[in-house]
A and B are shown apart, each in its own frame.
Chain A
C-alpha cells in the first residue's frame, strides 16, 4: 500500500474513532461557552407559596411536618440553617431547598435537577473525572493533530491544498491569529 492510500485509510478510521469524543467536546463546548445565559448543568425551578409563618415557631419538628404536608412534599428534611435574620432554609433529601421568609409569610421551593446528558458532557469537558480522563483526552488531542495534518495530504495536486483550497487552510489559521492580534495584550 502506498503512503497516500495508507494516509487516507488512517484518516478515515481515526476519524470514525474520534466522532464520539468530538461530539462530547463540541456539544459541551457550546454549553459551557453560554453557561451565563443558560445553566446547562442544572435545571433549577422555583415556586413561591404563601403560608402563615409569622408568630410560628418554625424550628420544631411539628412545624416541619405540617409544612411538608401543606406543600404536598413527600420528602425528609436533612438540614436546617438560618441564612440571615430573615431567611431560614430547610434542605430536603431529594435536592430540594425550602426558603422560609417568616416576615413575608412566604415559602420558596427550589428544586435542582442535573440536566440529562448535558451535565455528563460538561463533567467530561471540565475533566471532573481527573487522571484517567486526562490521559484519554491527551490521546484524543494527538489524534486530532494527526487528523488535521493528514488532511493536508488527502488529495493530490491542485485539487488539494496546493490549489485554491489552500486558501481555506490559510483562513483557518488567520482567524485565530486575528483574535490574538486584536484581543490579546
Chain B
C-alpha cells in the first residue's frame, strides 16, 4: 500500500504545482519605471543603458523553451520581443493574451540585408533594399498578470 501511495503523492504534488507556476520573475517588474513601448522604440539608443519597464499584451511565446515572448505595443502593428537566455526565465505559453510587465534594457542588433529579408520572408513581408535593426528587450524582472 505504501509503495503505491508514495508515487501517487509525488505525481499529485507535481500536478498541483502547475497552479503555483510563478507569474513573477526575479521579484516582479518595477512599476515606477513604466513607459510605453512606442516611446522606448522612438528613442532606442537611450534605453540601451537606462532600465525601464514596458507593458503589453503577450501576443506570442517561444513554444519550446519559453525563452522569449512578444509584447504588443501601444502603437498598431508594433511589437517588441522580450528575450532571455535559455533557462534564466521560462515564459509559459499560456501567458498569451495576458498583460506582461518587463523591467530591463533594450538591445539593438543591426542585421545584414540577407538576415533582414530572411526575417521578413518568415513574416510573409515583402523584401526590402536596406538592412534593418532588430530590437530585443533584455529583462531583469517580469510580471505576468491575468
C-alpha gap A127/B123 in the complex (Å): 33
Contact B63 A39 (CB under 8 A): yes
A42: chain B residues at CB < 8 Å are 63, 93-94
Taking CB atoms, residues of chain B closer than 8 Å to A112 are: 93-94, 96
User: Closest A-chain residue to B94, C-beta based?
Assistant: A95
Interface residues on chain B, number (Cβ under 8 Å): 31
Q: Contact between B14 and A128 (Cβ–Cβ < 8 Å)?
A: no
**Least Cβ–Cβ distance between B139 and chain A, in angstroms:** 15
- Contact (Cβ within 8 A) B15 A117: yes
A108 nearest CB across to chain B (Å):
14
CB of B72 within 8 A of chain A?
yes
Q: Is B17 in contact with A120, judged by CB distance below 8 angstroms?
A: yes
> Is there an interface contact between A128 and B22, defined as CB atoms closer than 8 Å?
yes
Residue B105 is within 8 A (CB to CB) of chain A in the complex: no
Chain A residues within an 8 Å CB radius of B98: 78-79
Give chain A interface residues in 22-72, CB to chain B under 8 Å: 35-36, 39, 41-42, 44
Write out the residue numbers on chain B whose beta carbons fall within 8 Å of the beta carbon of A136: none
Measured in the bound complex, the distance between the Cα atoms of B72 and A83 in whole Å is 8
From B14, B99, B123, give the contact of A121 (CB < 8 A): B14
Q: List, in ascending order, chain B residues with CB within 8 A of A119's CB.
A: 18
A95, B21: Cα distance in complex, Å: 15
Q: Report A66-120 residues with CB < 8 Å from chain B CB.
A: 78-79, 81-86, 89, 91-92, 95, 97, 112, 114, 116-117, 119-120
A126 at the interface (CB under 8 A from B): yes
- Once A20-B10, A117-B14, A124-B14 are accepted as A-B contacts, the answer to whether A92 and B21 lie under 8 Å apart by CB is no
Chain B residues contacting A81 (CB-CB under 8 Å) are 57, 59, 72
Closest to A89 in B: B59
Task: Give chain B interface residues in 21-53, CB to chain A under 8 Å.
Answer: 21-22
- Which residues of B lie under 8 Å from residue A120 when comparing CB positions? 14-15, 17-18
Q: Does A123 contact B (CB under 8 A)?
A: yes
| Number of A positions contacting B (CB below 8 A) | 34
B64 at the interface (CB under 8 A from A): yes
Chain B residues near A128 (CB-CB < 8 A): 21-22, 90
Query: Given contacts A82-B77, A114-B94, are A127 and B57 in contact (CB under 8 A)?
Result: no
Complex-state Cα separation, A79 to B97, whole angstroms: 6
Alpha-carbon separation in the docked complex, A44 to B93 (Å): 10
For B99, give the chain A residue with the smallest CB separation.
Answer: A79
Write out the residue numbers on chain B whose beta carbons fall within 8 Å of the beta carbon of A95. 93-94, 96
Interface assignment of B76: CB less than 8 Å from any CB of chain A: yes
Can you name the residue of chain B whose Cβ is closest to the Cβ of A94? B94
| Contact A91:B97 (CB < 8 A) given known A35-B64, A39-B63, A44-B63 | yes
B residues touching A (Cβ–Cβ < 8 Å)?
6-7, 10-11, 14-15, 17-18, 21-22, 57, 59, 63-66, 72, 76-77, 87, 90, 92-94, 96-99, 123-125
- Residues of A at under 8 Å CB distance from B? 20, 35-36, 39, 41-42, 44, 78-79, 81-86, 89, 91-92, 95, 97, 112, 114, 116-117, 119-121, 123-124, 126-130
